[in-house]
């Protein structure tokens, strides 16, 4: 699977071209107006109703949402692109993640020993010496783990590696940093792969349009296109447009 990724400025220009065409009669006509959008001069893609900082912030919000949905989709071929292994011991808080926990193991390669997930209270009971059913006859009690939503539970005091599914997304603290992310002279590569670019642009356009009362139909059309494009990439979207628009404020 190719790992080509677009630059943020390319995504911005395509989105800006789409919002410029929102008054077209149909989405199809609107899309016909931005052929070669990445080559469009800045002066022709800017829109007073949607200033660059507005478009850029929404693009980053939507990238985070899409990556989050990928991380939440078990078996997704791109899910492993957003996995990080962290070393923890019993009682450690786990880093926040959007996609949950993957494998828990110790060692590496052929000597790796994998742990089985059990409720946190089961693991805690084993630590206190209670005799308790761990749910399967072939599960070794020293190789189970639990999580209560915050702290990690192990039956021993050793260290294990925990796979966390969650993106390391760009963070901007001011408009200078935001501008730098979308630079054309020092391009920054996006987190999402190129196969998601069209869906990403459609979704961001939908959210931007949803914030303007006169573009309700256009917003709905682009959101539906986004859902269809993501379904083609085996990524079901369980977020509605109203929620996405409100969360991005």
Q: What is the pLDDT of residues 81-101, one digit of tens each?
A: 888 889 999 999 987 666 778
Q: What is the pLDDT of residues 158-187, one digit of tens each?
A: 999 998 887 778 889 999 999 999 999 999
d(CA 225, CA 227): 5
- The neighbour count for residue 137, using CB atoms within 10 Å, is 6
Strands (E) located in 74-212: 83-88, 101-106, 113-114, 116-117, 144-147, 152-153, 160-165
Nearby residues of 135 by Cβ (< 8 Å), 6 or more positions away: 118, 122
In the chain, pLDDT over 90 holds for what percent of residues? Answer: 43
pLDDT of residue 35: 40
Please give the mean pLDDT across all residues of the chain. 83
Segment 92-120 shows an average pLDDT of 85
- Longest CA span, the chain: 72
Whole-structure pTM value: 0.75
Q: Which two tokens stand for residue 183?
A: 């630079």
Segment 12-39 shows an average pLDDT of 64
In the chain, pLDDT over 70 holds for what percent of residues? Answer: 82
């Amino acid at each position: 699977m190719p790992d080509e990724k677009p630059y943020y400025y390319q995504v911005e220009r395509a989105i800006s071209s789409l919002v410029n065409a929102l008054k077209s009669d149909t989405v199809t006509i609107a899309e016909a107006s931005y052929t070669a959008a990445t080559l469009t001069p800045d002066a022709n893609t800017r829109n007073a109703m949607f200033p660059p900082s507005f478009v850029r912030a929404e693009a980053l919000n939507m990238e985070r949402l899409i990556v989050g949905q990928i991380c939440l989709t078990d078996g997704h071929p791109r899910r492993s692109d957003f996995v990080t292994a962290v070393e923890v011991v019993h009682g450690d808080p786990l880093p926040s993640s959007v996609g949950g926990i993957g494998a828990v193991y110790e060692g590496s390669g052929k000597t790796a020993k994998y742990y089985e997930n059990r409720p946190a209270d089961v693991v805690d009971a084993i630590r206190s010496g209670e005799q308790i059913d761990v749910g399967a006859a072939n599960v070794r009690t020293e190789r189970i783990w639990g999580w209560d939503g915050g702290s990690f539970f192990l039956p021993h005091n050793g260290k294990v590696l925990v796979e966390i599914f969650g993106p390391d997304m760009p963070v901007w603290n001011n408009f200078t940093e935001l501008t730098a992310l979308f630079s054309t002279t020092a391009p920054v590569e996006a987190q999402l792969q190129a196969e998601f670019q069209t869906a990403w642009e459609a979704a961001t356009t939908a959210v931007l349009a949803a914030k303007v009362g006169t573009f309700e139909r256009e917003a709905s059309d682009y959101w539906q296109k986004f859902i269809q494009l993501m379904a083609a990439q085996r990524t079901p979207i369980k977020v509605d447009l109203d929620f996405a628009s409100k969360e991005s404020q």
